[in-house]
Chains A and B, each alone.
Chain A
Amino acid sequence: MSPEGDLVPPALQAEGVVKQYPGGGAPAVEGFDVTVRQGELFGLLGPNGAGKTTVISMMTTILKPSGGEMHLLGFRIGSDNHSIKKCIGLVPQEIALFQEMTAQENLWFFGRLYGLSGARLRERIADCLEFIGLTDRGNQKVITYSGGMKRRLNLAAGILHEPQLLFLDEPTVGIDAQSRNLIMEKLLDLNRCGMTMVYTTHYMEEVERLCCRVAIMDRGRVIGEGSPRELINQGGCMSLEELFLSMTGKRLRD
C-alpha cells in the first residue's frame, strides 16, 4: 500500500532537480525531469560527466538536491530518507565490498544493516549466492575473486534485502562477456519478478537488451527520453549508439 492511498505512485518522480556543488561552477544537474513507473527497467545514458552518477546519488539520498522535488515510491526525498533507504537498493560503480571478508561475511554484514537476521538472513544469503553462481565460493575472501565474480557479488549485496527499487550504476564495467551476460539475465529475472530498476551504462547493447525506457543526459540535462526503439526512429538512426553520438556529439569527454 502506498502512502497516497489506492493510486500506485510512480517508483520515481523527479521535477526540476538541480545539483550545484559548492564552488563547482555550472550545475552538475539542472532541470532534471524524469518519471519511472513501477516495474520498469529504466536506462540512464550519457557521456562521462553528463551527471548520471550525481543523479543516482540524489535518488539514493546520498546527495542532497540543490533544488527541485524528488519522490521515490511515494516518499519525498529530503524528509522521508530513512523510509526510502529501506525500500531501495544500490549497486555502485565501484566494487563496494570488503575485500578481506568472504562473500558470506559481506552479505551477512549488509543484510544485518537492512534488519535481516536469523534464518531469514541465512536463507537470503544462500539464495543470493546461488542467484549469482557463487554458492561454492561463498566462504572465500573477496580479494581472491576475479573481476566478474566481484561484480556479481556487488549485485548480490544490492538485492539481498529484496528492494522495490534498485539503482545500478554501471554494474558491468570491466568484466568478461560471460559474467556480463549472467548479470543481465539475472537483472531481467528480477525485473520480471516486479523489481523496478534504474540502470546507467555506457554499453548501448545492454540498454537495448534490458531497458524498456531510457533517458539520455548531457551536461546535467535530459536531452531525450522514450523507449530505445522510439528514440532511434525519431532520430532517424540505425542504432542507439548512432543516436547517442548524434545527440551528444563525437567530441571526447574526459
Chain B
Amino acid sequence: MAQLLTMVKKELLLLGRDRGGLLVLFAMPAVLVLVITLVQSNVQKLMGVSLTQVLLVDQDRGGLGREIGAKFAETGNLEVVENLDGHVIDRDQAINAVGLGRFKVAIVIPSGFTEVLNQRVGESVRRGFGEEVITTRPPTPELQVYYDPTVMGGFRMGIQNGLKMIILGFSAKLKMDEFRRILPVELEKQIQAQIDPKFRDMVSVPSLDFTWDNETLVGVTEHGASRHGMTILPTPVQQNVPAWTLFGIFFIVVPLAGALQRERRDGVFTRLLAMPVSGLTILGGKIIAYSMVCLGQFWLILLIGRFLLPALGTSRFVLGSNWPVAVLICLGAAVAASAYGLMLGSLSRSIEQVSMFGSISVVLAAAIGGIMVPVYAMPPLMQSLSAISPLNWGMDAFLDLVVRGGNLKSVALPVGKLLLFAGVNLLVAWGVLFRNR
C-alpha cells in the first residue's frame, strides 16, 4: 500500500508541474463546454427552441397584431417587439434590423388588412345564406414576414405555420362574429316569410351567445419521456456538461500515455522493473492518480454548468439527487481512459506517436460517440458505429441519468462496458510491459 501511495503521489506531483498537461486536462474541456454550450444556445435561438424576439410592424391596428402577440407569448419561446430604441418601429426599420441580424424575423401587417378581411368574411357568410353578393375583389390581404437568412428551416416553418394558424383562428372568429350577427336576422327573415302572419308573434328567434372562439376543447402539452418522475427536458447544457466532461476525461490519454512513454524512453521504467515493486502497483498508481484528476475535471465542469453557464444566459445544469451514480459513471470512464492511455503508452514508440494517435483517436471516438452531435442526429451507419465508442457508453450512462432520470441499475450496462474496455486495455498493456520479456 505504501508503494501504491508513493506511485500516486509521484504521478500527481509530476502532473501538477506539467502546465501543458494541466491545460489539456482542465482548461480545454472547460473552454469547450463554455463555447459549445453558448454556441448551441444561439443555434437554439435560430431554431426557435429558446426565447426569440420577433419584430411586429402593425400598420393595420385591427386586432390581428394583438392576436399574434398573445399567441406567440403563449408559446413561451417567442416575444413580440413593436418598439425599438423607445420608438414604434416602421416597416423599413424592421427590415433593416432583421437584415443586420439584430432580430431573426419581422412581421408586417399592412394597413387595411383587417378591413379587407372583414369585408371578405362578410361576403363569405352572406353567400352562405344564399344572398347574392357583389364581390368588390379588393387585393388579397397579405401578411409580410421577413427572415434573417441564417434562420434555420425548422424555425421558418414553425413561424409560417404558426401565423397561418393564427390567421385561420382570427378569420374564424371574424366569421363567427359575422355569423352571430347575421343568423338572427336571417332566421327572422325566413320565419317571417314562411309562417302565417297570425302566428308570427308566437315564434321568437333565440338569442345567440357563441363563446367558443376562445374555448380550448383539446389540449397539446409537451413532456419528456423520463422515468421516476423526472421532468428535465434535453437542453444544450444537459447534453454538453456530461459530453465535454467525458471528452476531458478521455483526453487524459495523451498526458498519461506521454508520461509512460517518457518513463520508458528515459530509462525510469527500466529502473522500476529492477526494483521490488509489482506491475500492478506501477499501473495501479497511474490509474488511481489520473482517476483523481478526472474527478477534479468532473466537478470543475459540473460547477461551470451549475453557476457559470447560467450566469451567461443558458439554463442551469441539473444533476438531481443521483450524484453518487454520476461519480460512478465518471470513475468508470476515468478507469477506461486511463487503461487506454496505458495501452497506448505501452504500444507506441515515441511521444509524437502518443500525441498524434491519442488525440486523433479520442476526437474520433468523441465524434462517433455523440459528444459533438447527438447520436440520433447521425446517419444510420454512424449510429451503428457509435455503439463501439467508449465515449458513447459514458454518454449513454450520463444522459440516462441526467435526462431520462435513470439510476444505478439503468447505468450498470454502459458502466460495465467501460470497465470491460478498461480490462482489455490493461491486459494488453500488462502483456507488453511485463510479460513479453
Interface residues of A (CB under 8 A from B): 22, 57, 60-64, 82, 85-86, 88, 90, 92-101, 105, 109-110, 112-115, 117, 157-158, 167
| Bound-state Cα–Cα, A114 to B277, Å | 8
Q: Which A residue sits closest to B436, measured CB to CB?
A: A22
Contact assessment for A114 and B275 in the assembled complex, using a CB-CB cutoff below 8 Å = yes
Q: Distance (Å) between the CB of A55 and the closest chain B CB?
A: 14
Residues of B within 8 A of A82 (CB): 276
Q: Distance (Å) between the CB of B242 and the closest chain A CB?
A: 33
Contact assessment for B266 and A95 in the assembled complex, using a CB-CB cutoff below 8 Å = yes
Contact assessment for B266 and A94 in the assembled complex, using a CB-CB cutoff below 8 Å = yes
Q: Which B residue sits closest to A59, measured CB to CB?
A: B274
| A112/B14 contact (C-beta < 8 A), A96-B266, A96-B268 known | no
Q: Distance (Å) between the CB of B180 and the closest chain A CB?
A: 86
| A96/B3 contact (C-beta < 8 A), A86-B276, A101-B14, A105-B13 known | no
Contact assessment for B277 and A92 in the assembled complex, using a CB-CB cutoff below 8 Å = no
Residues of A within 8 A of B158 (CB): none
| Residues 116-159 of B at the A interface (beta carbon under 8 Å) | none
| The one of A62, A63, A100, A167 that contacts B14, using a Cβ cutoff of 8 Å | A100
Q: Which B residue sits closest to A61, measured CB to CB?
A: B274
| A94/B267 contact (C-beta < 8 A), A62-B437, A85-B274, A105-B13 known | yes
Contact assessment for A98 and B10 in the assembled complex, using a CB-CB cutoff below 8 Å = yes
**12 A–B contacts, CB within 8 A, in A order:** A61-B273, A62-B273, A94-B270, A95-B266, A96-B267, A97-B266, A101-B17, A109-B10, A110-B275, A113-B276, A157-B271, A158-B271
| A85/B276 contact (C-beta < 8 A), A64-B437, A96-B270, A157-B271 known | yes
| Residues 4-46 of B at the A interface (beta carbon under 8 Å) | 6-7, 10, 13-14, 17-18
| The one of A63, A92, A112 that contacts B3, using a Cβ cutoff of 8 Å | A112
Mark contacts of B268-304 with chain A using CB atoms, 8 A cut-off: 1 yes-contact digit, 0 otherwise: 1011111111000000000000000000000000000
| Bound-state Cα–Cα, A142 to B6, Å | 19
Residues of A within 8 A of B3 (CB): 112-113
Residues of A within 8 A of B7 (CB): 113
| Bound-state Cα–Cα, A63 to B273, Å | 9
Residues of A within 8 A of B13 (CB): 101, 105
Residues of A within 8 A of B272 (CB): 113
| A109/B6 contact (C-beta < 8 A), A64-B437, A96-B267 known | yes
The 4 closest A-B pairs by CB, nearest first: A94-B267, A96-B267, A112-B6, A85-B276
With A61-B274, A101-B13 already in contact, 10 other A-B pairs whose C-beta atoms are closer than 8 Å: A60-B273, A61-B273, A62-B437, A63-B437, A85-B276, A94-B270, A96-B271, A97-B266, A101-B10, A112-B2
Q: Distance (Å) between the CB of B18 and the closest chain A CB?
A: 7
Residues of A within 8 A of B17 (CB): 100-101
Q: Which B residue sits closest to A100, measured CB to CB?
A: B17
Residues of B within 8 A of A57 (CB): 270
Contact assessment for A98 and B14 in the assembled complex, using a CB-CB cutoff below 8 Å = yes
Contact assessment for B277 and A113 in the assembled complex, using a CB-CB cutoff below 8 Å = yes
Q: Distance (Å) between the CB of B76 and the closest chain A CB?
A: 54
Interface centre among A95, A110, A117 (most CB of B within 10 A): A110
| Bound-state Cα–Cα, A82 to B265, Å | 24
Residues of A within 8 A of B265 (CB): 94
Contact assessment for B267 and A110 in the assembled complex, using a CB-CB cutoff below 8 Å = no
Residues of A within 8 A of B268 (CB): 96-98
| A88/B266 contact (C-beta < 8 A), A98-B14, A101-B13 known | no
| Residues 51-110 of B at the A interface (beta carbon under 8 Å) | none
Q: Distance (Å) between the CB of B435 and the closest chain A CB?
A: 10
| A114/B276 contact (C-beta < 8 A), A99-B266, A100-B17 known | yes
| The one of A60, A98, A105 that contacts B274, using a Cβ cutoff of 8 Å | A60
| Bound-state Cα–Cα, A176 to B18, Å | 30
Residues of A within 8 A of B266 (CB): 94-97, 99
| Bound-state Cα–Cα, A92 to B271, Å | 7
| Bound-state Cα–Cα, A51 to B6, Å | 34
Q: Distance (Å) between the CB of A106 and the closest chain B CB?
A: 9
| A62/B274 contact (C-beta < 8 A), A95-B266, A113-B6 known | yes
Residues of B within 8 A of A93 (CB): 267
Residues of A within 8 A of B436 (CB): 22
Q: Which B residue sits closest to A62, measured CB to CB?
A: B273
Mark contacts of B254-274 with chain A using CB atoms, 8 A cut-off: 1 yes-contact digit, 0 otherwise: 000000000001111011111
| Bound-state Cα–Cα, A99 to B268, Å | 10
| Bound-state Cα–Cα, A35 to B267, Å | 27
Residues of B within 8 A of A96 (CB): 266-268, 270-271
Contact assessment for A62 and B270 in the assembled complex, using a CB-CB cutoff below 8 Å = yes
Q: Distance (Å) between the CB of B150 and the closest chain A CB?
A: 48
Contact assessment for B275 and A85 in the assembled complex, using a CB-CB cutoff below 8 Å = yes
| Bound-state Cα–Cα, A57 to B267, Å | 12
Q: Distance (Å) between the CB of B61 and the closest chain A CB?
A: 74
Q: Which B residue sits closest to A117, measured CB to CB?
A: B2
| Bound-state Cα–Cα, A234 to B386, Å | 72
Interface centre among B7, B13, B272, B274 (most CB of A within 10 A): B274
| Bound-state Cα–Cα, A250 to B275, Å | 38
Q: Which B residue sits closest to A86, measured CB to CB?
A: B276
Interface centre among B13, B265, B271, B272 (most CB of A within 10 A): B271
Q: Which B residue sits closest to A64, measured CB to CB?
A: B437
| Bound-state Cα–Cα, A110 to B270, Å | 13
Mark contacts of B413-437 with chain A using CB atoms, 8 A cut-off: 1 yes-contact digit, 0 otherwise: 0000000000000000000000011
Residues of B within 8 A of A22 (CB): 436
Residues of B within 8 A of A117 (CB): 2
Residues of B within 8 A of A110 (CB): 271, 275
| Bound-state Cα–Cα, A57 to B269, Å | 12
Q: Which B residue sits closest to A83, measured CB to CB?
A: B276
Q: Which A residue sits closest to B265, measured CB to CB?
A: A94
| Bound-state Cα–Cα, A112 to B6, Å | 7
Q: Which B residue sits closest to A141, measured CB to CB?
A: B17
Residues of B within 8 A of A88 (CB): 274
Contact assessment for A113 and B270 in the assembled complex, using a CB-CB cutoff below 8 Å = no
